[in-house]
A = this chain, B = another copy of it.
Amino acid sequence: MARSGRELRTTITEDGMLRINLETLPVPEPAQGELLVRVEAAPINPSDLGLLFGPADMNTLKAQGTVENPVLTAQVPAHLLPAVKARLGQSMPVGNEGAGKVVGAGSDLQHLVGKRVAMIGGAMYADYRLITPESCIVLPDEATAAEGAALFVNPLTALGFVETMRAEGHRAIVHAPAASNLGQMLVKICQADGIELVNIVRSQEQADLLRGIGARHIVDSSTETFAQDLENAIADTGAMLGFDAIGGGEMTSTMLNAMEAAAARKMDSYSRYGSSTMKQVYIYGSLDTGPTILKRRFGFTWNLGGWLLFSFLKRTDPGVAKRMRDRVRAEMTTTFASHYTAEISLQDALRPEIAAVYEKKSTGEKYLLVP
Protein backbone atom coordinates (compact mmCIF):
# COMPACT_ATOMS: atom_id res chain seq x y z
CA MET A 1 0.00 0.00 0.00
CA ALA A 2 1.14 3.55 -0.77
CA ARG A 3 2.42 5.70 2.09
CA SER A 4 0.55 8.76 0.91
CA GLY A 5 -2.58 9.63 -1.00
CA ARG A 6 -4.16 12.61 -2.66
CA GLU A 7 -7.23 14.42 -1.42
CA LEU A 8 -9.06 17.07 -3.42
CA ARG A 9 -9.45 20.34 -1.52
CA THR A 10 -11.35 23.54 -2.18
CA THR A 11 -10.49 26.88 -0.61
CA ILE A 12 -11.92 30.36 -1.03
CA THR A 13 -9.49 33.02 0.11
CA GLU A 14 -10.43 36.22 1.93
CA ASP A 15 -9.81 38.18 -1.26
CA GLY A 16 -12.20 36.06 -3.33
CA MET A 17 -9.98 33.51 -5.05
CA LEU A 18 -11.33 29.96 -5.39
CA ARG A 19 -8.52 27.44 -5.33
CA ILE A 20 -8.99 23.70 -5.94
CA ASN A 21 -5.95 21.50 -5.49
CA LEU A 22 -4.84 17.99 -4.61
CA GLU A 23 -3.31 17.74 -1.16
CA THR A 24 -0.87 14.89 -0.57
CA LEU A 25 -1.46 13.34 2.85
CA PRO A 26 0.00 10.36 4.71
CA VAL A 27 -2.27 7.31 4.55
CA PRO A 28 -3.75 6.94 8.04
CA GLU A 29 -3.62 3.79 10.12
CA PRO A 30 -7.13 2.46 10.93
CA ALA A 31 -7.78 2.16 14.68
CA GLN A 32 -10.33 -0.11 16.39
CA GLY A 33 -13.73 0.38 14.75
CA GLU A 34 -12.27 1.97 11.65
CA LEU A 35 -11.85 0.94 8.03
CA LEU A 36 -9.34 2.27 5.54
CA VAL A 37 -10.89 2.32 2.06
CA ARG A 38 -9.13 2.93 -1.24
CA VAL A 39 -11.67 5.07 -3.07
CA GLU A 40 -12.46 3.69 -6.51
CA ALA A 41 -15.41 5.81 -7.62
CA ALA A 42 -17.33 8.84 -6.38
CA PRO A 43 -20.14 10.64 -8.22
CA ILE A 44 -20.19 14.39 -8.72
CA ASN A 45 -23.56 15.30 -7.28
CA PRO A 46 -25.10 18.79 -7.48
CA SER A 47 -24.67 18.99 -3.71
CA ASP A 48 -20.91 18.43 -4.15
CA LEU A 49 -20.66 21.20 -6.72
CA GLY A 50 -21.98 23.77 -4.25
CA LEU A 51 -19.04 23.10 -1.97
CA LEU A 52 -16.51 22.55 -4.76
CA PHE A 53 -17.01 25.79 -6.64
CA GLY A 54 -18.97 27.91 -4.17
CA PRO A 55 -20.31 31.03 -5.87
CA ALA A 56 -17.26 31.33 -8.19
CA ASP A 57 -17.68 32.78 -11.67
CA MET A 58 -17.21 29.77 -13.96
CA ASN A 59 -16.06 32.04 -16.78
CA THR A 60 -12.88 32.76 -14.83
CA LEU A 61 -11.72 29.13 -14.47
CA LYS A 62 -7.96 28.89 -14.92
CA ALA A 63 -5.42 26.07 -14.76
CA GLN A 64 -2.44 26.80 -12.53
CA GLY A 65 0.23 24.73 -10.80
CA THR A 66 2.10 21.90 -12.50
CA VAL A 67 1.16 18.65 -14.24
CA GLU A 68 1.87 16.64 -11.09
CA ASN A 69 0.40 19.25 -8.86
CA PRO A 70 -2.42 20.91 -10.77
CA VAL A 71 -4.41 23.80 -9.30
CA LEU A 72 -7.71 25.11 -10.61
CA THR A 73 -8.62 28.70 -9.78
CA ALA A 74 -11.57 31.01 -10.34
CA GLN A 75 -12.77 34.37 -9.07
CA VAL A 76 -15.64 34.73 -6.62
CA PRO A 77 -17.49 38.01 -7.27
CA ALA A 78 -17.02 40.32 -4.28
CA HIS A 79 -20.74 40.72 -3.59
CA LEU A 80 -21.13 36.95 -3.19
CA LEU A 81 -18.32 36.56 -0.67
CA PRO A 82 -20.48 37.27 2.41
CA ALA A 83 -22.56 34.18 1.57
CA VAL A 84 -19.50 31.97 2.12
CA LYS A 85 -17.93 33.95 4.95
CA ALA A 86 -17.88 30.87 7.18
CA ARG A 87 -15.59 28.89 4.85
CA LEU A 88 -13.11 31.60 3.89
CA GLY A 89 -9.50 30.49 4.22
CA GLN A 90 -10.40 26.88 5.03
CA SER A 91 -9.06 24.04 2.88
CA MET A 92 -12.12 21.79 2.60
CA PRO A 93 -12.39 18.19 1.37
CA VAL A 94 -15.23 17.34 -1.02
CA GLY A 95 -17.33 14.35 -2.09
CA ASN A 96 -20.43 13.22 -0.22
CA GLU A 97 -20.38 9.58 -1.23
CA GLY A 98 -18.36 6.96 -3.03
CA ALA A 99 -17.30 3.33 -3.16
CA GLY A 100 -14.03 1.48 -2.78
CA LYS A 101 -12.09 -1.53 -1.50
CA VAL A 102 -11.35 -1.98 2.17
CA VAL A 103 -7.53 -2.15 2.30
CA GLY A 104 -7.05 -1.93 6.03
CA ALA A 105 -9.09 -2.24 9.23
CA GLY A 106 -8.85 -2.05 12.98
CA SER A 107 -8.21 -5.42 14.64
CA ASP A 108 -11.96 -5.85 15.28
CA LEU A 109 -12.88 -5.36 11.61
CA GLN A 110 -10.29 -7.50 9.84
CA HIS A 111 -13.07 -9.64 8.29
CA LEU A 112 -14.02 -6.70 6.09
CA VAL A 113 -10.61 -6.33 4.47
CA GLY A 114 -10.91 -7.05 0.74
CA LYS A 115 -14.62 -6.21 0.66
CA ARG A 116 -16.02 -3.48 -1.53
CA VAL A 117 -18.15 -0.91 0.31
CA ALA A 118 -20.40 2.04 -0.52
CA MET A 119 -19.73 5.03 1.74
CA ILE A 120 -21.22 8.33 2.84
CA GLY A 121 -19.61 11.11 4.85
CA GLY A 122 -17.67 13.60 2.75
CA ALA A 123 -14.03 13.74 1.63
CA MET A 124 -14.58 11.00 -0.97
CA TYR A 125 -12.66 12.79 -3.74
CA ALA A 126 -9.46 11.22 -2.49
CA ASP A 127 -7.30 8.14 -2.88
CA TYR A 128 -8.07 6.91 0.64
CA ARG A 129 -10.85 7.39 3.15
CA LEU A 130 -10.80 6.40 6.80
CA ILE A 131 -14.37 5.55 7.81
CA THR A 132 -16.56 3.67 10.29
CA PRO A 133 -18.75 0.72 9.22
CA GLU A 134 -21.89 2.66 10.20
CA SER A 135 -21.29 4.93 7.22
CA CYS A 136 -20.88 1.99 4.84
CA ILE A 137 -22.92 -0.57 2.99
CA VAL A 138 -20.93 -3.75 2.35
CA LEU A 139 -21.50 -4.62 -1.30
CA PRO A 140 -21.98 -8.07 -2.81
CA ASP A 141 -18.76 -9.56 -4.21
CA GLU A 142 -19.86 -9.14 -7.81
CA ALA A 143 -20.69 -5.43 -7.45
CA THR A 144 -18.50 -2.91 -9.24
CA ALA A 145 -17.31 0.34 -7.68
CA ALA A 146 -19.39 2.33 -10.18
CA GLU A 147 -22.49 0.42 -9.07
CA GLY A 148 -21.79 1.18 -5.43
CA ALA A 149 -20.62 4.79 -5.78
CA ALA A 150 -24.01 6.51 -5.50
CA LEU A 151 -26.07 4.34 -3.18
CA PHE A 152 -26.67 6.98 -0.52
CA VAL A 153 -27.58 10.48 -1.66
CA ASN A 154 -29.99 9.85 -4.53
CA PRO A 155 -31.50 6.54 -3.37
CA LEU A 156 -32.12 7.70 0.21
CA THR A 157 -33.43 11.06 -1.02
CA ALA A 158 -35.91 9.39 -3.38
CA LEU A 159 -37.02 6.99 -0.64
CA GLY A 160 -37.12 9.93 1.78
CA PHE A 161 -39.66 11.69 -0.44
CA VAL A 162 -41.95 8.70 -0.21
CA GLU A 163 -41.49 8.44 3.56
CA THR A 164 -42.19 12.18 3.87
CA MET A 165 -45.34 11.70 1.82
CA ARG A 166 -46.54 8.96 4.16
CA ALA A 167 -45.62 10.86 7.31
CA GLU A 168 -47.51 13.96 6.17
CA GLY A 169 -50.61 12.13 5.01
CA HIS A 170 -50.26 12.79 1.29
CA ARG A 171 -50.91 10.14 -1.32
CA ALA A 172 -49.18 11.40 -4.46
CA ILE A 173 -46.13 13.45 -5.42
CA VAL A 174 -45.11 16.10 -7.94
CA HIS A 175 -41.39 16.10 -8.83
CA ALA A 176 -39.13 18.41 -10.80
CA PRO A 177 -36.88 17.94 -12.63
CA ALA A 178 -38.07 14.37 -13.03
CA ALA A 179 -35.60 13.01 -15.58
CA SER A 180 -32.58 13.20 -13.28
CA ASN A 181 -30.95 10.04 -11.94
CA LEU A 182 -32.89 10.65 -8.75
CA GLY A 183 -36.09 11.27 -10.71
CA GLN A 184 -35.75 7.95 -12.49
CA MET A 185 -35.31 6.17 -9.17
CA LEU A 186 -38.43 7.90 -7.89
CA VAL A 187 -40.40 6.73 -10.93
CA LYS A 188 -39.42 3.13 -10.18
CA ILE A 189 -40.11 3.39 -6.44
CA CYS A 190 -43.55 4.93 -7.00
CA GLN A 191 -44.38 2.31 -9.61
CA ALA A 192 -43.42 -0.51 -7.25
CA ASP A 193 -45.29 1.05 -4.32
CA GLY A 194 -48.41 2.08 -6.24
CA ILE A 195 -47.92 5.79 -5.69
CA GLU A 196 -49.07 8.32 -8.28
CA LEU A 197 -46.21 10.55 -9.40
CA VAL A 198 -46.44 13.68 -11.55
CA ASN A 199 -43.14 14.04 -13.41
CA ILE A 200 -42.13 17.50 -14.61
CA VAL A 201 -39.55 17.29 -17.39
CA ARG A 202 -37.95 19.97 -19.52
CA SER A 203 -37.97 18.40 -22.99
CA GLN A 204 -39.61 15.82 -25.18
CA GLU A 205 -36.49 13.62 -24.94
CA GLN A 206 -36.80 13.54 -21.17
CA ALA A 207 -40.50 12.74 -21.45
CA ASP A 208 -39.68 9.82 -23.75
CA LEU A 209 -37.00 8.57 -21.37
CA LEU A 210 -39.42 8.53 -18.42
CA ARG A 211 -42.21 6.99 -20.45
CA GLY A 212 -39.71 4.29 -21.39
CA ILE A 213 -39.25 3.30 -17.75
CA GLY A 214 -42.97 3.32 -17.09
CA ALA A 215 -43.83 6.82 -15.88
CA ARG A 216 -47.53 7.58 -16.34
CA HIS A 217 -47.97 11.28 -15.57
CA ILE A 218 -45.46 13.41 -17.44
CA VAL A 219 -45.73 17.15 -18.07
CA ASP A 220 -43.21 19.11 -20.10
CA SER A 221 -42.34 22.56 -18.77
CA SER A 222 -41.04 23.60 -22.19
CA THR A 223 -44.51 23.51 -23.74
CA GLU A 224 -47.06 26.32 -23.77
CA THR A 225 -49.69 24.18 -22.10
CA PHE A 226 -47.44 23.35 -19.14
CA ALA A 227 -49.41 25.13 -16.38
CA GLN A 228 -52.71 23.64 -17.56
CA ASP A 229 -51.19 20.18 -18.08
CA LEU A 230 -49.75 20.28 -14.59
CA GLU A 231 -53.08 21.32 -13.08
CA ASN A 232 -54.81 18.45 -14.89
CA ALA A 233 -52.21 15.90 -13.76
CA ILE A 234 -52.54 17.13 -10.18
CA ALA A 235 -56.32 17.00 -10.38
CA ASP A 236 -56.04 13.42 -11.69
CA THR A 237 -53.64 12.23 -9.02
CA GLY A 238 -54.50 14.42 -6.01
CA ALA A 239 -50.81 15.25 -5.60
CA MET A 240 -50.60 18.08 -3.07
CA LEU A 241 -46.95 17.43 -2.20
CA GLY A 242 -44.14 18.59 -4.44
CA PHE A 243 -40.36 18.27 -4.44
CA ASP A 244 -38.37 20.77 -6.45
CA ALA A 245 -34.62 20.59 -7.00
CA ILE A 246 -34.55 23.71 -9.16
CA GLY A 247 -35.30 26.14 -6.34
CA GLY A 248 -34.81 29.39 -8.21
CA GLY A 249 -37.35 30.89 -10.58
CA GLU A 250 -41.02 29.98 -10.66
CA MET A 251 -41.19 26.20 -10.48
CA THR A 252 -42.29 26.03 -6.83
CA SER A 253 -44.81 28.77 -7.47
CA THR A 254 -46.13 26.97 -10.54
CA MET A 255 -46.55 23.79 -8.52
CA LEU A 256 -48.43 25.56 -5.71
CA ASN A 257 -50.67 27.42 -8.14
CA ALA A 258 -51.48 24.25 -10.07
CA MET A 259 -52.28 22.46 -6.78
CA GLU A 260 -54.56 25.32 -5.75
CA ALA A 261 -56.31 25.39 -9.11
CA ALA A 262 -56.86 21.63 -8.90
CA ALA A 263 -58.16 21.96 -5.32
CA ALA A 264 -60.42 24.86 -6.30
CA ARG A 265 -62.23 22.61 -8.78
CA LYS A 266 -63.76 20.85 -5.80
CA MET A 267 -64.81 23.98 -3.88
CA ASP A 268 -68.51 24.69 -3.47
CA SER A 269 -68.12 28.43 -3.01
CA TYR A 270 -65.60 31.20 -3.41
CA SER A 271 -63.24 31.98 -0.55
CA ARG A 272 -60.94 34.97 -0.70
CA TYR A 273 -58.48 32.91 1.37
CA GLY A 274 -58.23 30.19 -1.24
CA SER A 275 -58.94 26.50 -0.80
CA SER A 276 -58.52 24.81 2.57
CA THR A 277 -56.51 21.98 0.97
CA MET A 278 -52.96 21.94 2.33
CA LYS A 279 -50.44 22.38 -0.46
CA GLN A 280 -46.84 21.49 0.41
CA VAL A 281 -43.72 21.97 -1.69
CA TYR A 282 -40.15 21.26 -0.62
CA ILE A 283 -37.09 22.75 -2.24
CA TYR A 284 -34.44 20.02 -1.95
CA GLY A 285 -31.80 21.36 -4.29
CA SER A 286 -30.77 24.59 -5.85
CA LEU A 287 -29.95 23.91 -9.49
CA ASP A 288 -31.01 27.52 -10.05
CA THR A 289 -29.49 29.59 -7.27
CA GLY A 290 -31.45 32.69 -8.32
CA PRO A 291 -34.39 34.02 -6.30
CA THR A 292 -37.47 31.87 -5.81
CA ILE A 293 -40.42 33.83 -7.19
CA LEU A 294 -43.76 33.06 -5.56
CA LYS A 295 -46.80 34.37 -7.42
CA ARG A 296 -49.22 33.74 -4.61
CA ARG A 297 -52.50 32.87 -6.25
CA PHE A 298 -52.63 29.85 -3.94
CA GLY A 299 -54.41 31.29 -0.94
CA PHE A 300 -53.23 30.85 2.63
CA THR A 301 -53.21 27.08 3.09
CA TRP A 302 -49.75 26.23 1.84
CA ASN A 303 -46.30 25.50 3.01
CA LEU A 304 -42.89 25.74 1.40
CA GLY A 305 -39.76 24.46 3.06
CA GLY A 306 -36.25 23.21 2.58
CA TRP A 307 -35.75 19.44 2.47
CA LEU A 308 -32.36 18.05 3.36
CA LEU A 309 -31.49 14.35 3.43
CA PHE A 310 -29.28 14.62 6.50
CA SER A 311 -31.96 16.42 8.52
CA PHE A 312 -34.58 13.94 7.33
CA LEU A 313 -32.47 10.96 8.41
CA LYS A 314 -31.80 12.57 11.78
CA ARG A 315 -35.48 12.97 12.61
CA THR A 316 -36.56 9.65 11.09
CA ASP A 317 -37.32 6.55 13.09
CA PRO A 318 -34.25 4.23 12.97
CA GLY A 319 -36.48 1.38 11.84
CA VAL A 320 -37.59 3.36 8.82
CA ALA A 321 -33.99 4.36 8.04
CA LYS A 322 -32.89 0.71 8.19
CA ARG A 323 -35.74 -0.35 5.90
CA MET A 324 -34.62 2.31 3.43
CA ARG A 325 -31.01 1.09 3.43
CA ASP A 326 -32.00 -2.54 3.11
CA ARG A 327 -34.06 -1.68 0.06
CA VAL A 328 -31.18 0.23 -1.52
CA ARG A 329 -28.87 -2.77 -1.06
CA ALA A 330 -31.44 -5.19 -2.45
CA GLU A 331 -32.24 -3.05 -5.51
CA MET A 332 -28.84 -1.51 -6.21
CA THR A 333 -28.60 -2.70 -9.80
CA THR A 334 -32.26 -2.09 -10.66
CA THR A 335 -34.21 0.73 -8.97
CA PHE A 336 -31.12 2.49 -7.71
CA ALA A 337 -28.74 2.07 -10.65
CA SER A 338 -27.10 5.33 -11.68
CA HIS A 339 -25.97 6.16 -15.19
CA TYR A 340 -22.84 8.17 -15.84
CA THR A 341 -22.00 10.39 -18.76
CA ALA A 342 -18.26 9.91 -18.27
CA GLU A 343 -15.57 8.85 -15.83
CA ILE A 344 -12.90 11.37 -14.93
CA SER A 345 -9.78 11.23 -12.77
CA LEU A 346 -8.92 13.50 -9.84
CA GLN A 347 -6.53 15.37 -12.14
CA ASP A 348 -9.20 15.66 -14.86
CA ALA A 349 -11.52 17.25 -12.31
CA LEU A 350 -9.02 20.12 -12.05
CA ARG A 351 -8.88 20.81 -15.78
CA PRO A 352 -10.87 23.95 -16.63
CA GLU A 353 -12.41 22.58 -19.84
CA ILE A 354 -13.67 19.48 -18.00
CA ALA A 355 -14.82 21.37 -14.89
CA ALA A 356 -16.83 23.72 -17.11
CA VAL A 357 -18.77 20.71 -18.41
CA TYR A 358 -19.49 18.73 -15.24
CA GLU A 359 -20.38 21.89 -13.35
CA LYS A 360 -23.38 22.52 -15.60
CA LYS A 361 -25.67 20.15 -13.69
CA SER A 362 -27.55 19.23 -16.84
CA THR A 363 -30.42 16.94 -15.97
CA GLY A 364 -29.54 13.33 -16.70
CA GLU A 365 -25.81 14.06 -17.12
CA LYS A 366 -23.64 12.78 -14.35
CA TYR A 367 -19.92 12.38 -13.87
CA LEU A 368 -18.05 9.74 -11.93
CA LEU A 369 -14.73 10.55 -10.30
CA VAL A 370 -12.31 7.64 -10.46
CA PRO A 371 -9.30 8.55 -8.28
A residues near B (Cβ < 8 Å) are 47, 50-51, 83-87, 90, 92, 247-248, 253, 264, 267, 269-273, 276, 283-284, 286, 289, 291-297, 299-308, 310-311
Contact = CB atoms under 8 A, between A and B. Distances in A.
Which of A86, A270, A291, A306 has most chain B Cβ within 10 Å?
A306
A157 to B, nearest CB: 12
Contact of A305 (B50, B51, B302): B302
Nearest to A300: B306
Given A47-B272, A87-B270, A273-B310, A296 B292 contact: yes
15 contacts: A86-B271, A92-B270, A247-B296, A248-B296, A253-B291, A273-B310, A283-B300, A291-B293, A292-B296, A293-B293, A302-B306, A303-B303, A303-B304, A304-B305, A305-B305
In order of increasing CB-CB distance, the 10 nearest A-B pairs are A300-B306, A87-B270, A292-B294, A303-B305, A300-B308, A86-B270, A51-B272, A304-B304, A50-B272, A291-B293
A296 B310 CA distance: 19
B300 A296 contact: no
A124 to B, nearest CB: 15
A27 to B, nearest CB: 24
Which of A248, A271, A272, A273 has most chain B Cβ within 10 Å?
A272
Contacts of A271: 86
Contact of A307 (B253, B286, B300, B306): B300
- Main secondary structure, interface of A, reads mixed
A248 B84 CA distance: 27
A300 B47 CA distance: 12
A47 B273 CA distance: 9
Contacts of A90: 270
A284 B270 CA distance: 19
A47 to B, nearest CB: 7
A305 B302 CA distance: 6
A170 to B, nearest CB: 15
A283 B47 CA distance: 29
Given A291-B293, A291-B296, A304-B305, 17 more contacts: A85-B264, A86-B269, A90-B270, A248-B296, A253-B291, A273-B310, A276-B311, A291-B294, A292-B293, A292-B294, A293-B293, A294-B294, A300-B306, A301-B308, A303-B304, A303-B305, A305-B305
A152 to B, nearest CB: 15
Contacts of A310: 273
Contacts of A47: 272
Contacts of A86: 264, 267, 269-271
Contacts of A247: 296
A240 to B, nearest CB: 14
A297 to B, nearest CB: 5
A83 B297 contact: yes
A291 B253 CA distance: 10
A286 to B, nearest CB: 7
Nearest to A303: B305
A306 B299 CA distance: 8
A271 B300 CA distance: 32
